[in-house]
Structure 1
Amino acid sequence: MFGKNRVPGDAHDAPKPSRVRVPIFHVPNWLYVPWLVLKGVGRAVYWAVVALIFAAKFYWVSVPIGLLGYLTVVYGWHWAAGAAVFITGMLLVWWWQHRASFRRWLGWFYLAKWRQYVKYRPLWQPTITNVGLATSFDGDRFYPSIVNVRHDGRSDLVTARMLPGQHPQDWAKAAPRLAHTYKALSCSASTHDVKPGRVTLRFRLVDTLATTMRPFPVPAVADVRRLGVAMDEDGRIYRVSLTGHVLLAGRTGSGKASVVWSILAALAGGIADGLVQVHAFDPKGGMEFAYGKDLFHAFHYDGPDTMAGALEDLAKVVNQRADRYRGVARDHVATIAEPTIVIPIDEFASLTAYVADKKIKERINQTMAEILTKGRAVGVHVIAALQDPRKEILSYRNLFATRIALALNEESEVDMILGDNAVARGAASHLIPDTMPGIGYVMLDGRARPARVRFPYHSDNDIRALAAAHGTALGAGR
């Protein structure tokens, strides 16, 4: 009654046996000949429309060919050949003198089109079928369509039209298999900057973060709202904010120390000026932070009871500042009298979950919740590092505005740190190999997508030099 339902997508119909029509009656020639003429005109119009559609679809080929054809017809082949040689020469000069702009405006476009029809389309249908993203309906087979392919110098971005009922998480689960099929370093799925019902697959071909980086120069002014601590995939300094606290997670050997020392190095100018105070907590006996102790105003590593008392003292500072700022100021401005307080905690779980004494554990958890809740507005910021991102440890994960996931063991751990559906939005911390410490994904508060970055490596000598150059008379080692 209402016709046959159609599923959006590329259909692959099974071959059907040909049928021979037997004429039932004879048509006189005076009627049959005009019908043949009309039928021929209709087919000519049909194929003309098809040709126009293809010319518009493949304008990047039809426009140059059409231009050369026009010059050949109007001015002769020698003018067309001369124009082709001249344009080719200008393109070569552009490529030679300004390769970056040539690639960005022309080279990457044609490279993407080439790969769309030579690399991705030939394997698309069997690959989509094998990973479970195709469907059958009413006897026909349907596949998600490739809408467009773009290239940005490092990755191929394949935009596909999802079938009804599909979700980007379905594509995120299949992303590792798609990466292997198309011989990419990795693949991630996201719906950022695309129309509803579409998904973008980012096939990473070149890893710009593969090389270990040296520590960045220490800025003269420490801006806690814009600390340059890492390098992103575009080769730019990636900045994070301490306001709202920082949560960092990664398995053993993932480079958590690189993150912490990169943040402290970005704060070193403020430490030397007395505008930043660092109160470091190292539950592992001081092994991690000992090399930079001269940067610290206080260094705590003597046991849970002592550290619980130190945290309670910091909570008192938070409450005292909150009482003074109430009705006077909404944000903290660092001064010598009231500096910004930064609290780096190595192995956060050792304080919040693994303390054997229940009373001390309750004291620490209550105090940490108070600092995390009130500290942002009064200039007290926490940097919490851990390697066991279990839910019971992260009961107040949402109190951290900046979350960093280095290499993790399982996909579920990525969502625990960065938030629900982080893997579907492109974060693949569970796929980072042990040979690439310092690489991770950063989720900033208010951002839709995590950013893949690499933090510079600080050797023991680099940390000693940093502490010697920017340590103060208030340093814990003085």
Structure 2
Amino acid sequence: MLLKKQNAVQRYELGAEVSRPKQMASIPRTAHLAIIGESNSGKGSVIANIIRQEVEAGGEVWFIDLKSGMEAENYAAVLDNKAYSLQEAKDLLSAFNMDVDTRAERWRGQVRTVDDQHERHRLLVIDEAADLIRSGSDKKTSDACVESIRSALSRSRALNCTVVVSTQNPRVSTSLPYRSLLLTTLALRLNSKSEAVMALGEDAVQRGARPWQISFNRPGDGYLWDSESNTVRYIHVPFMTDQDIHSLRRPGTDDEAGEATAGARSHPTNKLWGLLRRPRKG
């Protein structure tokens, strides 16, 4: 059964090219994205703009924020699922992958790519993904989260799901052990060329990416690298105010009803269908 089509959105607009302000830079809505940058470099603004577009398009938003929800809770009115602890993250990621399996089973042999006509688009945001990497007594749960993320990245793009991860740590081998599956990267301000190579790879730097040269007073500036097309674009992501963030509502939702807030879950369930504070610049 086909779904009623929401606002057709094929791409996320990230921002304008710095050298050509009238030229917008965008990525496919199903492109898994890594956002890497120092504190106060603009990661929160990137996430805010993507979530805004997802909400306007009528999609789902799932959010993992292991800093006790300090970032995610600003999006509470539009979240479908959230995780603020490591165990909750494991459960959420398990539910995400279960639904990927369900979608694959439902549409296998019928379509090559699932879109909004078949399944509601789902955006999974993992803020400060390095926080998922643990040792000691948490290592088993941490490893399970990493494997679930790797599975989601490997299988969900064709099933109308997108994963966006952010981290301050440019050492992606440790902060993002599934880095090879994130083919699109936005590098905001970094401290050195060596950090840029760790975050983006040598090819991106050779093709002009210079995130270590971004000024501290230019939060939101960054180099967008697409490893599939080997292209680099220097862009600026617009800032969203507190009012912009907290006024986010799903299309057709009565602001006073609070239905979206009531529908946000602190942990996943097996009901697979129907079931921004000022975004910090770091």
Compute the TM-score of the two structures, normalised by the length of structure 1.
0.50
2:240 equivalent in structure 1: 458
Q: Is the 8 A contact 1:349 1:393 kept in 2?
A: yes
* Equivalent position amino acid for 2:57 in 1: G
Structure 2 residue identity aligned to 1:354: R
Match of 2:83 in 1: 300
- RMSD, aligned CA: 2.1
Residue 445 of structure 1: how far off its partner (Å): 4.0
Written as runs of structure 1 = structure 2, the 5 A alignment for 1:4-403 is 221-223=7-9, 225-232=10-17, 233-235=19-21, 236-271=23-58, 276-301=59-84, 303-335=85-117, 338-351=119-132, 353-354=133-134, 356=136, 357-390=138-171, 391-403=173-185
Q: Compared with structure 1, are the counterparts of its residues 377 and 230 closer, same or farther at alpha carbon in structure 2 (3 Å cutoff)?
A: same
> Residues 477 and 331 of structure 1: is their aligned pair in 2 closer, same or farther, counting only changes over 3 Å?
same
**Mapped partners of 2:124, 2:52: distance in 1:** 14
Shift of 1:355: 5.7
Is the 1:222–1:266 Cα contact (8 Å) retained in structure 2?
Answer: no
Shift of the 253–370 alpha-carbon distance from structure 1 to 2, 3 Å rule, reads same
Q: Identity across aligned pairs (percent)?
A: 28
Where does structure 1 differ by over 3 angstroms across 4 or more consecutive aligned residues?
467-474
Q: Identify, as 1 or 2, the structure richer in helix.
A: 1
1:212-264 C-alpha deviation (Å, 9 max, x unpaired): xxxxxxxx9351x3222201121122111232311111110101001001111
Shift of 1:470: 7.2
Give the partner amino acid of 1:228: E
2-side partners of 1:388 and 1:440: how far apart? 16
| Separation of aligned partners in 2, 1:371 and 1:326 | 17
Whole-angstrom CA distance in 1 between matches of 2:216 and 2:131: 23
Provide the rounded CA distance (Å) in 2 between the counterparts of 1:476 and 1:300: 15
Residue 446 (structure 1) shift: 2.9
Please state whether the residue corresponding to 1:461 is helix, strand or coil.
helix
Of structures 1 and 2, the one scoring higher in RCO (CA 8 A, sep 6+) is: 2
Q: Structure 1 pair 354/253, CA: closer, same or farther in 2 (3 Å)?
A: farther
1:103 corresponding residue in structure 2? none
Q: For residues 398 and 471 of structure 1, what CA distance do their matches in structure 2 show?
A: 39
For the residue of structure 2 that corresponds to 1:334, the secondary structure is coil
Bigger CA radius of gyration: 1
Cα 1:454/1:296, change in 2 over 3 Å:
same
Match of 2:220 among 408, 416, 438: 438
Unaligned runs of 5+ in 1: 1-219
